[in-house]
Each structure stands twice: as C-alpha cells, then as structure tokens.
Chains A and B, each alone.
Chain A
Amino acid sequence: MIPLSWYVLVSAALFCIGLFGVLARRNAVAILMAVELMLNAVNVNLVAFWRYGEPQAMAGQVFALIVFTVAAAEAAVGLALFIAIYRSRDTVAVEEIDLMKG
C-alpha cells in the first residue's frame, strides 16, 4: 500500500497550489476555482486519514461529504455574487472590486 504521508503530501501540494491561486488570480471566478482546489486538498486528507486511521468509523467520509455540500453551496452563492457584481460593475477582476479602499 501507499504510505499515508504520500497522500498527505499530495494534499499539501494541492492546497498550496490553491492557496497561490487564491492570492494571485485576478479573476474572481478563478479564485473560486482555486478555493475548490483547497477544499479538495482538505478532502484528500480527510479520506486518507479515514483510510489509514479507523475505517470502521465513518467520520472522515462524513466530513468529506459535508465539505462537498459546503463547496456546492459556496460555488452557487459565490457565482451568483459574481454575476451580480458583474452586472453592476461590469468586471469580475478582484482588484477592481475595492469599495472598501481607504
């Protein structure tokens, strides 16, 4: 079997890729996609620890499922927001959405 650490490393890599995307992308939708990557990285961790920890208890899978749900809700609301912002400001570039600028 593949050692647990490999999965965790893959997950860490995926997480950091997503992190980079969240910090560096200009487009809001792209940021949302990067967030999805991060959530998936978390899920990989959850499932991996479930598998190597205690497969009889379903905690890992349950949490992964809840992350799915949250991700779906987040995507729906996020995209709706972007479309609303796009309608009013004609852009989804995050740098240009700076109503809070001092």
Chain B
Amino acid sequence: MNGFDISNLFLSIGQVWTEWLLQLGLSAGWVSFVNKLAGAVLVTAFAVGTVVFTIVGERKLIGRIQDRLGPNRVGPFGLLQTVPDVLKLLTKEIITPANADKVLYSIAPMLAVASVILIWGVVPFANGVMGVDLDIGALYFVAVSSFGTLAILLAGWSSNNKYALVSAFRVVAQLISYEVPLVLSLLVPVLLAGTMSMNGIVQAQAQGWFVILAPISMLIFFISSTAEVGRSPFDLLEADSEIVAGYNIEYSGMRFAMFFLGEWIHAFTICGLTATLFFGGWRGPFVDQVPALGVIYFLVKMFAIYFVHIWIRTTMPRLRIDHLLDFNWKFLVPLSLVNLIVMSLAARLTGMPRADAALGELLPYWGVLLGVNVVLAAVTLYVLGVVGSRIRRRQEAAREPEPAVTGP
C-alpha cells in the first residue's frame, strides 16, 4: 500500500476504500461491482445534492438582480429554504388524471431526471476522477440527452390534456431544433482535441482553452444549451401566460418535483459541460502537481458559468416560438455549419501542437484559430447587418402604402 497522497485526494480515497473492501473478504469481482455502484450513487448524490444549494443560490441571486431580498427565513440567510420546499412537495398528493395513460404518465418524470443524471457519468471532476471515461463521451452526452425530449413528449401526451400536448409539441420542436447547432458546435472541441473522451478533451486544453481557440463554437454551444435546458429567453416550454404551465401541468407532488429537479440539474449540468468542453474543465494552476485541486477549479468554473446563465435568465425577455425557430434554423444552424467547416480547415492547416509544446510554438496555433474566428465573426456580423437592413426596408415598404383617408 502506498502512502496516502493528499495531492491526489480522490484517487487515494478510492484506493483506501478498495483495499478496505478487499480486507473484508470480498472477491475482486464483487469489489469492482460495489465500486461501480458506489460511484454511481456518489455521482447521483452529487448531482441531486448540488441542486439543493443551487436552488437557494439562484433564488437569492434573482432576488438581488430584481432588487429584492429573496428567501431569507429558513436557516441563516435563508440557506435552508429548499428543505421545507422539498418536504412540502413530498407530502403533497400525487394526482393522476382519470383519462391519462397511467404507465407512461408515471414513467415520464423518472425518464426526465434519469436523462440528466446520466450525463454526469462522463463529466470529469478532476484528472481521471469521473464516472467512466468513455472514449465516446461527447457522443454519449448527445445520445443520453435525447431521452429528455422523449420524457417531455410522453409527459405531454400521457396527461391527456391539450395544453400539455401543445406545450410538448413546442418543446420537442425547440429541443430537436437546437440539438443541431449544439451537436455541431460540440464537434469543434472534439475536432481540436482529436478525441471524444471528455477527459481527453480537457487534457487537450493544456494547449489553450478552447474558449480562446474557438469562441464562436463556445457561443453557439452556450446559446443552444440554454435553449436545451429551456431557460429564459428560451423558456417557452412553460410559458405560463400562454399555455398554462406547460407539458407538466397535470403533474403534482413528487412527480412534478422530479421534472423540476430534472430541469434544475440540467441547468448546471450544461454549465459543467461548457466548463469541460471550452473552459479547460479541471485545468488550473498547479493542477499537475496537485490533481485534487482540479475538483475545485472545475466547480468554480461551473458555477461561474451558471452565474452567467442566471444573469441572462433574469434580464432577457422571452422569445416568440417562430422567432425562436427562425433564429435557430436561419442563423445558428448555418453559422455552426460554416464554423465547423472553417474550424476543421483551420485545424488541418495548423496541425495539432505537441503536448509539451513551448509557448513560442503555441502562439501561431492560437493566432490562426483565433484569427479565423474573428474573421468569421466579422463576416457573420456583416451579413447579419446586410440581411437585417434589407428585411427592415422591406417591412417599411410594406407598411408605407396606407391609403390616405379622404374626407367626406
């Protein structure tokens, strides 16, 4: 047994734990099984546990931005506000509508939560500290999140409520549409890193975070992931002023809470992914010497991005469904396609730098990629300007010929 290495805290804990189990007399197969189970429980617990705090944090933050106090009664500074909320939800009656499709009705919330938690399986907290280092991690993320869409569709349909169904249709249209730019922008980090493994992507960012190398992809990913989560300004799925409460209108009690939970976890999960894919994940100063620091870096980055999410949520007005789809299909998708092509060409041009490249070697690499991004952004803005002014002119032309009212 090696000495307990504090710098690589989590791996050391894992080793100690494994040896302890072996000493208890478990066979190696069972130990591996128990380890996997424990890992799964840990990851799930992390995801669900974090929600408790993010809910409070978010509410307080929103309160701040909207110039009010936010929750401040339960516990110090209202930090324990979530606890009575959860208790309230748990004790509420679970209502199932009479004409609902009961099986699907009860499956949908579970599926919604599961799809989000499954993503955490491939998110690296620190170097090598992750559920499972799949070599197709990025693809796994895309695949698993499609369950969420299914869950919403089933929830809307099985409720046998027309508002729920309309909402579900809207949501699915939105989610499927925004999945396209999401995946296309996700491909850029994969391309630059040369691997789909999440840990591999983070490791590849030793040569520079992808937010610097591919800012446009980051922006597209950020926008479309916001839409995937369904938060403002893309929160049409529960635009309560239009479609009552959205696809989950018939749900109550714990089942409703599960949708709520799923959405909330999804919000910061996406932030974690953004941090992993574009902001260097667990990378930070001295992380090579002390790997355990990675967890802290990762969490800090994740919550910083989450803060931006909340900030946007509280300040941006909601979009109309046709605007939202137009924006996706006419702007984001073409842009991300062009971006993907341009980036792949640029990456081919520069070639991938070696892992131990000196700064002098890295600078041209950064310069080319960043320069390409800047040029692309400039072109995009120019095209947008031209198209926008043309549309405006057409609208004005359409408005103009109002016949003058002639007096009697």
**Chains A and B share a contact (CB less than 8 Å):** no
What is the interface of chain B, defined by CB distance below 8 A to chain A? none
What is the interface of chain A, defined by CB distance below 8 A to chain B? none
